[in-house]
Structure 1
């Protein structure tokens, strides 16, 4: 049994963590959960009371929330080189938390059709959708990755948001997003993880 147990459903944000685990390269066991049954069961609720995937258990310790899992894995497997170097730490933490906070809120509220009135915007961490989206796009313009020339764990999380958003229309297909996504999609770990999850999805759909 591997030291990492990965609780997952391929039709979820778990694809982010699949990619991260493939980048890390440490062995892991995957437990596939069903939305209607095992994800709501007592065994899994003891791991994540939110009844959501993904989650990991590493040497008996539970970690949930995709950004936290990415940062945790980068930290506990330093040999993978996915944590920030000293000069990268400001951008690493800034944009990892920006994507998990303001950008996530802006995208989900926009998808739900909620637009804050001008007088309400100061109550929201993102202000408005266009401001959040353009802030990230402007940061990515003219650079290869979140922290500059080197890929790290922040790119797994931020990149997943960009790749998913531009594919499904929750983010506009701005030039910086498209160029960034194309670079990320060339990574072997991304392709390997995506391939595994697409195969699982096909098997689940075939089984009904």
Structure 2
């Protein structure tokens, strides 16, 4: 397994998801902070991530972008952390990880931007309608189990971040199922470490203006 693990991030970004996953993995990593208008759009960083956005994880020279991919990659790269189910039980793992990265992300973003799928054109949108996507997400996290049953996995990090942020920013409607799932996530030591680290960085950035 290649050595060296670096997170390129900004604390006020989806980089919080990647950091949470890194904290769950429990391996040492370097953090490189990038501002939105300067370093993130620089030629040096675009050579790593041509999109000029964060997060990006570099592991032994291998570049991984996109939060869902980062979560899945780290779960496999550091299998001893137990963040991926056995191969023969990964149906729910892949299903909900990529459902959150695809339909849920698109539905929530479009709604936040004021875009509504025209009536009768739902089949052209991968999520159909916002209400359908959210109802399906709610069903996936209902009950006392995690996404893949009793085992907490990388899918819970990504799906959980969507639910946690959705409730915090009111981009998804509140419900008992969402609230209960988020409450369990917020008790995880890795989640708490991530929030402490990123909140401290945000406070420093705000103090500097």
Which bracket does the TM-score occupy, shorter chain normalised? over 0.9
Residues in 2 aligned to 1:86 and 1:4: alpha-carbon distance in whole angstroms: 25
Give the CA deviation at 1:81: 0.5
- Give yes or no for the alignment of 1:148 onto 2:149: yes
- Give yes or no for the alignment of 1:188 onto 2:189: yes
- Give yes or no for the alignment of 1:175 onto 2:176: yes
CA-based RMSD of the aligned residues comes to: 1.0
Q: Which stretches in structure 1 are left out of the alignment for 5+ residues? A: none
Q: In the TM superposition, what whole-angstrom CA distance separates every residue of 1:83-103 from its partner, at most 9, and x where no partner exists?
A: 122453110000000000000
What is the match of residue 4 of structure 2?
3
Residues in 2 aligned to 1:141 and 1:8: alpha-carbon distance in whole angstroms: 31
- Give yes or no for the alignment of 1:166 onto 2:156: no
What is the match of residue 199 of structure 2?
198
Q: Secondary structure at the match of 1:36?
A: coil
What is the match of residue 137 of structure 2?
136
Query: 4+ runs of 1 displaced by more than 2 Å?
Result: 85-88
Residues in 2 aligned to 1:51 and 1:97: alpha-carbon distance in whole angstroms: 23
What number of residue pairs does the alignment pair up? 207
Give the CA deviation at 1:155: 0.4
What is the match of residue 63 of structure 2?
62
Contact kept? 1:144, 1:180, Cα under 8 Å: no
What TM-score do you get using the length of structure 2 for normalisation? 0.97
Give the CA deviation at 1:117: 1.6
Residues in 2 aligned to 1:156 and 1:183: alpha-carbon distance in whole angstroms: 12
Give the CA deviation at 1:66: 0.2
Give the CA deviation at 1:119: 1.7
